[in-house]
Structure 1
């Protein structure tokens, strides 16, 4: 019988990576905005993950991790890649046609709910009273942030369709979060599993792009190319190994709390670069969301049960 030692969120080896991922993903919303419009969303997603797959294989090779994986795990990598890097991002990029990026970012904070539920069902990861109470408080903050975003940029009449697309993205992301923490993916090096997942995700994205948008498209503006590189290398190769490592250590629900921090960081960056104006509503929502984060993550709970 083995016993998993309790994991504290506030240790530097956990809090540091959590903050880094939140900062990077908070910045990606500004970059994604430039990826939409001149190029079909499916092709923008494809280029991101083609480059990210190559970068992840290079990273795995530099870390001297084996690049081949068994057939059964390869099947799981295919499902994972289609969920995380295929459907998830196809839904997200399209949702931003109907909702502001701020609303999509805030809605994505709801990822912590299905992550916690699926983690409890499939991984036996506990849902503590502190986590439940903190989640309720954070959800109140998220609602206030949504109300603020709605007031400053009311969505079009297709708001429900945009919300539906975002919810689909959340569910596919949650399923992939839990899948990669199961025994099969954990039996191989994480970087290798992510690299193959990115390959399958890119293949799926390219197939969707060919069907929905026709022949390959690319915008040769340097800002577009730089954006693709940033999203692929910094927003994917750097962050996904860190984030999924947190999922395995903290549990799916607790790791997903970076989704609460990300929209707040995105708003702070928008304040600096886009003249975003805060309101009492937004400020109160941010304080409640962060307060819920502190409450939910303060307990020293193992992410896996004893076995």
Structure 2
């Protein structure tokens, strides 16, 4: 990969993985007093405001045709409303570790949808690497997987997590289309997050009643971090990577995020690694190396319309 490819793909990919790997720890500050649905609403309301502010400061266009707003509304519904609300609802009956394992599978529908709708090829080496990474994540959370008992609530939570994976994958593939690449990234995200926050607010009011805010530095700081870094910054980087290399390769970040989260837990919470967890970490890294070697991505190829899937 050329130095330009590293700066345009690898560094943003690494930044997104690191940022989203920290969100598990920060999200703990959002649970308790405030209903999760309202926390999601605040997150994307603030993120949208930040994106609009960035557009104004950077003189990015905010003028789009009506058809573009239909695209932005669908993106907001899928990525910033459906995805996060499904996950937060699932978290009531499914552990965060199991949700992470299921989300590691995002690389599979991303790859299949990219092949089906974007005609991006799939290589055997990439699928082997992704498979090893998914197995590695499962080993990281082996205890949660084996200790979770089946029940109606658990099955519902697992189904909701599956729904979250599918809608997130569809929104990922939307970014690989020629239509998405025709829109300015900042303006598109500003409106998509705005529409998503509106939908989140309606869902929150219906399911949890009027808004509730926890006026503490810890909670408000968590909202700002999740909005500014895990949403505004991370999605700009992540969607841009999708536009360059396709949704399959970019989706591998969901395999690595749990590994980063466990590392942070080791440093800040004293998590103790078991032999299986160590094996899982090793498999995750090996899988990443294989997946990366499966495709050396020339910067800008996808934007030119070539077949540049994670393959």
> What's the TM-score, normalizing by structure 2?
0.91
Aligned residue in 2 for 1:85: 80
Q: Secondary structure at the match of 2:94?
A: coil
Match of 1:225 among 196, 217, 220: 220
Cα deviation for residue 219 of structure 1 reads: 1.1
- Is 2:183 aligned against 1:188? yes
Deviates further, 140-149 or 104-113: 140-149
Match of 1:174 among 169, 180, 185: 169
- Is 2:99 aligned against 1:104? yes
Match of 1:272 among 267, 285, 302: 267
Aligned length: 301
- Is 2:36 aligned against 1:41? yes
Where in structure 2 are the equivalents of 1:1-307 lying within 5 Å? 11-151=6-146, 154=148, 157=151, 158-298=153-293, 299-301=295-297, 303=302, 304-305=305-306
Cα deviation for residue 9 of structure 1 reads: 10
CA distance in 2, matches of 1:274, 1:97: 22
CA contact (8 A) 1:144 1:285 kept: yes
Kindly tell me: are residues 10 and 73 of structure 1, through their superposed partners in 2, closer, same or farther at Cα, counting changes over 3 Å? closer
Q: Which consecutive residues of structure 1, in runs of 5 or more, have no partner in the other structure? A: 1-5
Q: Which consecutive residues of structure 2, in runs of 5 or more, have no partner in the other structure? A: none
CA distance in 2, matches of 1:135, 1:235: 24
Kindly tell me: are residues 222 and 235 of structure 1, through their superposed partners in 2, closer, same or farther at Cα, counting changes over 3 Å? same
Cα deviation for residue 106 of structure 1 reads: 2.8
Aligned residue in 2 for 1:3: none
Deviations along 1:259-291, one digit per CA (max 9) or x if unpaired, are 111100100111111121111111111211221
Kindly tell me: are residues 92 and 274 of structure 1, through their superposed partners in 2, closer, same or farther at Cα, counting changes over 3 Å? same
Kindly tell me: are residues 10 and 262 of structure 1, through their superposed partners in 2, closer, same or farther at Cα, counting changes over 3 Å? farther
Cα deviation for residue 185 of structure 1 reads: 2.2
Q: Secondary structure at the match of 2:306?
A: coil
